[in-house]
Structure 1
Amino acid sequence: MRMTWLALAAAGVLTAPRWLPEQVVALRVKVFEKVNGDNAITFPNATVGPDRFREVYGHPSANGRSKGAGLSDLFWYWLSPGPEVHQEHLEAGPRYDDVARTTLALLAGPSESFATAASRCARRVLDELVPGRVTLVRLRDLAMPLWAEYFYELVFGEPCPRAGRELIVAHANDVVTSLKCTGLRHPRRRAALTRYLATRVTEVRVALPASLSAQEQVHYLQGTFFNTAVVQMSEAFAHLVLALAQHPEVAERAGHDDRYFAHVLDETFRRYPLFGIAHRITTGEIELDENTTLPTGSVLCFSYPDYHASGYAEPEKFDPDRWAHLSAKTAHHIPFGIAANRPCPAWRISPIALRAATREVLRRFTLHSTVAHTRSLPHRGPCLLVRKGQSLPVTTLALIGAGLRLRDRWEDVWRSVVQLVLGTAMVLDARRLRLAERYFATHDTHGCPVPHRSEVTR
């Protein structure tokens, strides 16, 4: 009997990579469903299918950002410091208008300048971090300093000093690691960047919103450019380069064909959307049909992966050629959100910068990776970079590929457990702190302090 139990235990351990991650993910989903609460509705669903997804997403009443959603406490927890002035979470009104104008002013300029800056930053980082003939990297780790330098130049109009880059990378990495529940957040690490930006805030290329306090201006820069921008571009770059590493025929063609590169980028964003769920709170009723109305205060959760997987033949297949006869405007494809409901302000410059930086990689290296490629990218994109003009024996590449694949599968086992434990811990901590709920208890939706009841009755 003892030998039977030992055999079963051994079989469970050896087969864990096949079944444990999936089971842990299911548990994590249940944890986050509890956070959403009973008034949360995920789209597309049986009532609102993919064909009506944009309609509901773009409805004028689907415009609440944070107030009234339990999920907001969790997002604010992950995005702190300064989530109340983060452009994605500001409620509609004068403060949002001021912030949006400033962001667009910083993102304005000729396309060539954005491409040149991305190429320049990529060259500097690749020269520094990948000097050898053969280098094994984690693509997101490689991308972080690249985009830290890029957005520093964009904001301040000058090269990024090493100290600044290190602080930006530490902060952005801390945010994305906690978002993926692979590590806890570190407020002191984030505060170090806040203090640094406070010494530079007067040197920004454009005037910052006068409606924000000096501290809020720092938090706006930190949240918009050195959190969201750096994180999202690093994730996009890692997904794109990993896809090219796993489809060498695509990489070969994308290196010189601009039109095809656009198809590759569309397919990468379709297959691996940067946003998982975008949540909005209804500020009025939304009538779906004569029998169904979404009440005011509903939390609408728009699932990008589910929407991007609908309406395509073989949706799980990575196939850039499908875009030769598809239009991104009419397909189920909203990589930057939708125009009717606050799209990503970097929708124009992101493809330009990504193409320029990726071309620098393709000019220097051939890419090899055998790891699993999922939307969440918790392994940060392990990839072997082999310098052009060099070569490795086929058997060596095969052995390295097998080793990468095996390591990735076993990492996924412990990483899944870590994500469940740390994710649950952060959910509970966010519920304890109630950052969004407490903020809106003392401020109106426009960020103005609400007088205490005793002050009103005096």
Structure 2
Amino acid sequence: MRSGTRPATADTWWLPRAVVALRVRIFEKANGDRAVTLPNATHGPEVFERVYAHPAANGRSAGAGLSDLFWYWLSPGPEVHQEHLEPGERYEDVAATTRRMLAGTSGELMAQATRAVARTLDTVPDGRISQVRLRDLVMPAWAEFCYELVFREPCPPHARDLITAHADDVISALKCTSLRHPGRRARLTEYVRRRVVAGEVPYPLPRTLSLSEQVHYLQGTMFNTAVVQLSEATAHVLLALARHPEAQQRVMDDSEEDRYLTRVLDETMRLYPLFGIAHRITTDEIPLDEDTVLPPGTVVCFSYPGYHATGYDRPDEFDPDRWATLSVKEAHHIPYGIAANRPCPAWRLSPLVLRAAVREVLRRFRLDSTVPHTRSIPHRAPCLLIPHGMPPAPRRLDALRRRMRARNAVEDVTRGVRQLVLGTVMVLHARRRRLAGRYFEEHPPSGCPAGRGRGPGPPPHVPARR
């Protein structure tokens, strides 16, 4: 979900303009009246970088109407989800636990990812062309991978299925292609609770959290966000390669080195960043320019697609070779956030295991797809898997490609309207429940004035007091 920024992607271009406009308006409304998106026409990437790194851009959920929506999607336990914890002792405690779980040598992590993906691919026939949804294909593999990070043991099938069902339910709700199914989520909660009570997590869990909160932390951080983001990232990289056969061939030819594959990963994460919007709440004034400041309580929406589109030649074109001369550190490229404002805890792990996963897929199959590639991939990335060594069958392949294109076009006819309807229902339900608002009324963040950011307040841009 892009929270009102550039939500009309290529897969919905055909919809009546009134329907698209209504969908945009609904999600803009969820942001509230005290919100500003960066970069924008007035304040470009330099302001984006400065504000994102500002120490006062550190509020996570308290005081933002948008938080009610995200907490609704991420429940149960969004109040202890690592991404949404306010700064302080609880966050530091949780972050330290996550770092311990994600630790490991590069070789160990890549081997673990390869094994998990290989087990999933073993279920795909190797004697014929298969049509799959890439996100659905790899999600069970990443469920197993994350289970092993947490419990340090092989993942049993029933646990894999619980984690996969939960992660799929969360991401489908976030993309508004499905309503939430609390029962699926509750089944995973109960499973994790039993394991925690039995003392079967080989790490000390955050001491600042209650038993119920420890369970929800594991479920939300490790079995939701980690599984979803790895699955989405893998689907994006594989779909990009499926749509660019010359890049796919170069990756396969680059068997001794990962140099070109690293460029593919960088370009995929630039063009299709996993985060659409990261929202923060200001806890003090932040100057935008000489005449304008953001007052405390402002919701700042940092647009990753907007930022990643600045500073490049042909920014809308998929071109891995641009990274032959560009420096990731110097370019407008923050796929895992920025170091000054709580980056993704998997910033080191993700590139390693993604390379391993892509290598394992390409070792077995050639990829082909005719569907459009958008950041949100609500179609879950349909793709043909063509086993290596299979005799050429051009007519069969052409027929399958035409069928895929036609099927996606038919699905597009209903998908946009379904997202509009289901998204509206969930926005309204989330606003009624006010999960974040009610929580912070009862638990004001330390050092934060009670009620900060609530009520109409001043507009987000006010004259600076010099």
Between the aligned partners of 1:133 and 1:22, the Cα distance in structure 2 is 42
Between the aligned partners of 2:18 and 2:361, the Cα distance in structure 1 is 37
| Change over 3 Å in CA distance of 1:267–1:50 after alignment to 2 | same
Q: Would the aligned equivalents of 2:12 and 2:416 in 1 still touch at CA under 8 Å? A: no
Q: Secondary structure at the match of 1:380?
A: coil
| 1:40 paired to 2:35 | yes
Q: Would the aligned equivalents of 1:66 and 1:281 in 2 still touch at CA under 8 Å? A: yes
The amino acid across from 2:374 in the alignment is T
Q: Would the aligned equivalents of 1:39 and 1:299 in 2 still touch at CA under 8 Å? A: yes
Residue number in structure 2 paired with 1:226: 223
Q: How does 1:51-450 map to 2 (within 5 A)?
A: 51-201=46-196, 202-255=199-252, 256=255, 257-445=257-445
Q: Deviations over 1:305-351 (max 9, x none)?
A: 11111111111111000000001111111000000000000000101
Give 1:47 deviation, angstroms. Answer: 2.9
Q: Could you tell me which runs of 5 or more consecutive residues in structure 1 were left unpaired when the two chains were aligned.
A: 1-15, 451-458
Between the aligned partners of 2:158 and 2:42, the Cα distance in structure 1 is 52
Q: Deviations over 1:161-200 (max 9, x none)?
A: 0110010000000000000000000111100000000111
Between the aligned partners of 1:447 and 1:235, the Cα distance in structure 2 is 37
The amino acid across from 1:224 in the alignment is T
Q: Secondary structure at the match of 1:19?
A: coil
Between the aligned partners of 1:51 and 1:379, the Cα distance in structure 2 is 34
| Change over 3 Å in CA distance of 1:437–1:132 after alignment to 2 | farther
Between the aligned partners of 1:115 and 1:252, the Cα distance in structure 2 is 22
Give 1:396 deviation, angstroms. Answer: 2.2
Between the aligned partners of 2:98 and 2:243, the Cα distance in structure 1 is 35
Between the aligned partners of 1:321 and 1:341, the Cα distance in structure 2 is 29
TM-score of the superposition, structure 2-length normalised?
Answer: 0.91
Give 1:399 deviation, angstroms. Answer: 2.1
Between the aligned partners of 1:174 and 1:67, the Cα distance in structure 2 is 25
Give 1:447 deviation, angstroms. Answer: 12
Q: Secondary structure at the match of 1:176?
A: helix
| Change over 3 Å in CA distance of 1:23–1:244 after alignment to 2 | farther
Which shows bigger deviation, 23-32 or 385-394?
23-32
**Structure with a larger share of its residues in helix:** 1
TM-score of the superposition, structure 1-length normalised?
Answer: 0.92
| Change over 3 Å in CA distance of 1:22–1:173 after alignment to 2 | farther
| Change over 3 Å in CA distance of 1:114–1:19 after alignment to 2 | same
Between the aligned partners of 1:22 and 1:172, the Cα distance in structure 2 is 32
Give 1:288 deviation, angstroms. Answer: 2.1
Q: Deviations over 1:47-85 (max 9, x none)?
A: 320122111111010000000000000000000000000
The amino acid across from 1:205 in the alignment is P
Give 1:246 deviation, angstroms. Answer: 0.9
Between the aligned partners of 1:264 and 1:86, the Cα distance in structure 2 is 31
Q: Would the aligned equivalents of 1:182 and 1:422 in 2 still touch at CA under 8 Å? A: yes
Instruction: Give structure 1 regions of 4+ aligned residues with deviation exceeding 6 angstroms.
Output: none
| Change over 3 Å in CA distance of 1:342–1:359 after alignment to 2 | same
Between the aligned partners of 2:16 and 2:117, the Cα distance in structure 1 is 34
Give 1:287 deviation, angstroms. Answer: 1.5
Q: Deviations over 1:73-105 (max 9, x none)?
A: 000000000000000000000000000000011
